[in-house]
Amino acid sequence: MNSEFRRLPGVDKILSEERIKQLEDTYPHELLVSVIRQHLEHERLAIVAGNPCPPLDKIVDSIFAEIGKLENFSLRRVINATGVLLHTNLGRAPLSPETVAAMSSAAQGYSNIEFNLDSGTRGSRQTHIEPMLCQLTGAEAGLVVNNNASAILLVLSALAKRKEVIVSRGEAIEIGDSFRIPDVMRQSGAKLVEVGTTNCTYITDYEQAITDRTAALMRVHTSNFKITGFTHSVSLQELVTLGRRHDLPVVDDLGSGCFLDTTAFGLDPEPMVQQSVTAGAGLVCFSGDKLVGGPQAGIIVGEKALIDKLKRHPLARAVRIDKIRLAGLAATLRHYLKGEAQSKIPVWAMLSTPLEDIEQRAGKWANALKGMAQVIDGKSMIGGGSLPESTLPTKLVAIKGEHKGKNRNLAPTLAQKLRSADIPIIGRVSDDVLLLDPRSILPEEDEILLRELRNLTAILKHS
């Protein structure tokens, strides 16, 4: 064991190696020393675990590779061929060119994010977005924070700290990644009062739970699952009527949030923000990066008195949105105001793409594989915690990856090959078949995909 430790080179020895010396033209000496020391510590721990000390050239190879990783961003653009339009793991909603341009413009130099150009005095970042939200939804006021979880946390902290909020037991949901509504309430200092049962809750359940400690009634849209069979839920209008009778605000957490009628696209109905405002909800909270189709944001609209209370709360600064995403969200909302959301916002363009257009694209992709793939029927999913049971018909390129009678499945290998492309392409493997869905791929990405598919033919020919 001691002899293995003695074989470990010192920092100076590694710095004198020619390949490492070349890096000094690019990286500060202090950085090189830090990376070398960290790697040598890793090797020491490996020796303690019983592994031999690698030869010097191997150690240098590893350090050179580690430093080289600094040149490469791990966060990269990918092409989504999974057919899940709002894929949480792939960044949810792709952005319109106008949204990207607005974000780029805001990132260059300075901006009037909190400066009033007319008066020359300090302004509020919310003035760049609030009038648009009010125009779109009919609400008295609006506020934007960094995501919808923050929006709910702010609302509960400002309105119900050390007080009670009544929620249906069937709506005490987990949003994802172990993020649960009861946990958010606990962090805010509000006490969750569950009423009803998992499948049935009635307005009398809410009314019987109201005490002098009740601060709000809350509805949470179950956007990522459905309960079917013997069920009953309380409508938002019923909840609002009860709230007004007891002078209690109703908070409506829509989750995904939506400005367009999803039934017009052949999907199940998704509650629209405008409908919640019209029904009289005091505050309506939703995301900006799902069905809205913009950058990540948490949007709150509703009564001015309540919104003003949120704006004054200390937590509002901790969860405020940055200038880049604010600019992107404003550009996205402008598409709705101009009546061009369906053609300009990618997720709505994908939802409304005719099946014949998708079939034509799929056929072109299959032809690029020279008979080694076929076009089959399939279903595209919305994803992102939206419309859990809704799918859209699509056409899939199916690559079986089993050629010339050999009983060896290549689908995982082909999928990995596409993921290792300069612009990674993410498909899905099902029943030993690699599936690619045109609906979730932007039309301008077709040429990139075609080029990579042609590269797969060599693997398929020799399989």
Task: For residues 10 and 137, state if they share a domain.
Answer: no
Which alpha helices (DSSP H) does 354-421 contain, by range?
355-368, 411-419
Instruction: Specify whether 363 is located in the same domain as 329.
Output: no
* The domain boundary residue, chosen from 318, 344, 370: 344
Could you tell me the residue range of the domain that residue 229 belongs to? Answer: 95-344
Written as six digits, the tokens of 459 are 């693997």
pLDDT tens for each residue of 326-375? 999 999 999 999 999 999 999 999 999 999 999 999 999 999 888 889 99
CATH number of 326's domain? 3.40.640.10
Pair (208, 119) in one structural domain: yes
SS3 289: coil
Cα 41 to Cα 2, 21, 70, distances in angstroms = 15, 21, 19
pLDDT of res. 386: 73
Report pLDDT digits (tens) over 245-298: 999 999 999 988 999 999 999 898 999 999 999 999 999 999 999 999 999 999
Domain assignment present for residue 223? The answer is yes
Mean pLDDT of 374-382: 95
Angle between the N-to-C axes of helices 411-419 and 446-461, in degrees from 0 to 180, rounded to the nearest 10:
140
Question: Regarding beta strands 283-287 and 298-302, do their DSSP bridges make them parallel or antiparallel, or are they unpaired?
Answer: antiparallel
Q: Could you give the strand order of the β-sheet that contains 164-168, starting from the edge strand earlier in sequence?
A: 141-145, 298-302, 283-287, 250-255, 214-220, 164-168, 191-195
pLDDT at position 376: 96
- Whether the per-residue pLDDT at 1 is higher than 60: the answer is no
Same domain, 227 and 271: yes
Residue 177 has pLDDT above 60, yes or no: no
CA angle (200, 206, 212) in 5-degree steps: 160
Encode pLDDT of 394-406 as tens digits.
999 999 865 555 5
Residues 376, 397: Cα–Cα separation, whole Å = 7
User: Binning pLDDT at 50, 70 and 90, where does residue 172 land?
Assistant: confident
pLDDT at 82: 96
Write the CB contacts of 254 (distance below 8 Å, at least 6 apart in sequence). Answer: 221, 223, 271, 273, 276, 284, 285, 286
Strand ranges for 246-373 from DSSP E: 250-255, 283-287, 298-302
Q: Indicate if 231 and 171 belong to the same structural domain.
A: yes
Higher pLDDT, 205 or 455: 205
- The number of distinct structural domains making up the chain is 3
**Chain-centre distance for alpha carbon 303:** 28
Q: What percent of the chain has pLDDT above 90? A: 72
Looking at the structure, do residues 317 and 361 belong to the same domain, yes or no?
no
> Rounded CA gap, 207 and 430, in Å?
49
Q: Supply the pLDDT for residue 431.
A: 87
Predicted pLDDT of residue 384:
73
pLDDT surpasses 70 at 407: no
111 shares a domain with 48: no
Closest CA to 134 of 125, 122, 144: 144
Reply yes or no on whether the pLDDT at 220 is more than 60: yes
Q: What are the start-end ranges of the E strands in 214-304?
A: 214-220, 250-255, 283-287, 298-302
Give the model's pLDDT for residue 189.
83
Same domain, 218 and 265: yes
pLDDT tens readout for residues 103-121: 999 999 999 999 999 999 9
* Domain co-membership, 229 together with 271: yes
* 138 in any annotated domain: yes
Q: Is 278 a domain residue?
A: yes
Do 212 and 291 fall into the same domain?
yes
pLDDT tens profile 39-58: 999 999 999 988 999 999 99
Are 285 and 223 within one domain? yes
CA distances, 128 to each of 104, 116, 321, 330, 372 (Å): 16, 11, 12, 7, 53
Residues 356 and 334 in one domain: no
Rounded to an integer, the average pLDDT of 68-78 is 85
- Asked whether residue 90 is domain-assigned, the answer is no
What is the reported pLDDT for 226?
A: 64
Exposed/middle/buried for residue 168 (C-beta within 10 Å: 0-12, 13-18, 19+): buried
